[in-house]
Amino acid sequence: MVALSRLRVDVDSSPVYELLLQIGAFTGQEELSTFDVGNRWGVTQRARCSATVRRGLDRLGGPFAFWDQLIGYQAVERADGVTSFFDLLDRTDAEEIDLHMLGCYSAEMDARARAAVRAAVEGSRRARTPALEALAAGVPERRAVLGRLLATPAEAVKDLVLETLRGWYERIFLREEPIVSALLEDESAARRMLLATNPERLILLATGVRYDTRPDVEAVLLVPTLIMRPWLAVVNYRRMRIYCYPVADDAGLPDTVPPGLVRMHEALADPIRLRILKALGNDRLSADELADRLAEDRNTIRAHLARLRFGRLIHINCGPICTYERRSDLMRAVGQPLKSYLQLPVTSL
């Protein structure tokens, strides 16, 4: 890894990450209609899933599951592939897996809540109530789902995790693994070449995040993903921040039109997204502030912000509150690629 202001930055690709991100997208709270794969992908995978896998996904937390924490586990342990990752989980203590599935290693969980969850997993009945309160975060649906998971013995949770992951792998991921792995490795290799020059610039180029070093984060890991497009998934694991960023272009597509140019203009081709760009002006605003200014639903604004970021039109600023800003060179960023393309010789298709 490269040291920069006490921050370590690295790039990693693995089919393990993509497998876990697929499950996260399938079960998560974001509407699949806001993903590039769309609702049809979700319907297709549900039909391909066995009833056992679907039950396992529900029992492990449904839309509130902490699959992202297993992404952190893979980032630390670096299993060679999916089957090696299953072997790793098989060797891992059941309580450790249970703690991961309850989000115990998320940087977003404070020390008191973490201690309560750990004590509850270890068998303390007294700790179960404060642990559940911390996990529920005031959301009744979370309380019901995660309460059942908290009450499940650790050995049963471990068995359920392995059974569900193996079932998804065999039914959904196995046949596409070679192509997905090759695409992600190509992207990872290209990004790694920039590590030695300017890691902070690399973070910005890959993710659209203008990263500010924080004392509670010792390392940043960049993980390319196909399934999350156009979303950026952020995993806070122990003292590591993992950005699972959408791969912009599929390598090897025979397209004479630059995909980045298409994405940028697709991002501009929506009235709400244009209003967002106008509202940002020279300010840095949160999604909530933009929703208030534009009188739009917050989730709608977030989905549009993902499209604008994927189109390289805005940057994200990480802090206590995540804010967005319009690119300072927006007019040049939009106009120059179009001008360059239009000046190319005309080719027959």
Query: Distances in Å between the alpha carbon of 99 and those of 15, 81, 120, 203, 306?
Result: 23, 23, 10, 30, 31
pLDDT in tens, the chain (349 residues): 444 445 789 999 999 999 999 999 999 978 898 898 999 999 999 999 999 999 999 999 999 999 999 999 999 999 999 999 999 999 999 999 999 999 999 988 999 999 999 999 999 999 999 999 999 988 999 999 999 999 999 999 999 999 999 999 999 999 999 999 999 999 999 888 888 777 888 888 888 888 877 778 899 999 999 999 999 999 999 999 999 999 976 544 445 677 788 888 999 999 999 999 999 998 999 999 999 999 999 999 999 999 998 888 998 887 778 899 998 888 888 888 888 778 777 765 4
Q: Name residues whose C-beta falls within 8 Å of residue 152's C-beta, 6 or more positions apart in sequence.
A: 59, 160
- Provide the residue type at 251 as one letter: A
CB atoms within 10 A of CB 242: 22
B/e letters for 148-166, b = 16+ CB within 10 Å, e = fewer, are ebbeeebeebbebbbebbb
Domain ranges of the chain: 2-11+178-246, 16-175, 259-342
What does the alpha-carbon distance between residue 15 and residue 178 come to, in Å, rounded to a whole number?
A: 9
What does the alpha-carbon distance between residue 43 and residue 327 come to, in Å, rounded to a whole number?
A: 37
Q: In what order do the strands lie in the sheet with 314-317?
A: 209-210, 314-317, 323-326
Q: Are strands 240-246 and 233-237 parallel, antiparallel or unpaired?
A: antiparallel
| Contact indicator for 311, 337 with CB cutoff of 8 Å | no
Query: Distances in Å between the alpha carbon of 160 and those of 58, 164, 252?
Result: 11, 6, 39
Q: Is 138 left (phi over 0), alpha (psi -120 to 50) or beta?
A: left
CB atoms within 10 A of CB 176: 13
pLDDT at 343: 78
3-state SS class at 125: coil
Query: Distances in Å between the alpha carbon of 12 and those of 29, 72, 78, 317?
Result: 26, 12, 9, 23
What does the alpha-carbon distance between residue 39 and residue 46 come to, in Å, rounded to a whole number?
A: 11
- The DSSP element (H or E) to which 317 belongs, if any, is strand 314-317
Tokens 């929703």 -> residue: 291
* CATH fold label, 259-342: Arc Repressor Mutant, subunit A (1.10.10)
Task: DSSP letter for 345, please.
Answer: P
B/e letters for 321-346, b = 16+ CB within 10 Å, e = fewer, are eebbbbbeeeeeebeebeeeeeeeee
pLDDT at 158: 98
pLDDT at 347: 61
Rg (CA), the chain: 21
pLDDT at 29: 79
Tokens standing for 299?
């989730």
What does the alpha-carbon distance between residue 276 and residue 335 come to, in Å, rounded to a whole number?
A: 19
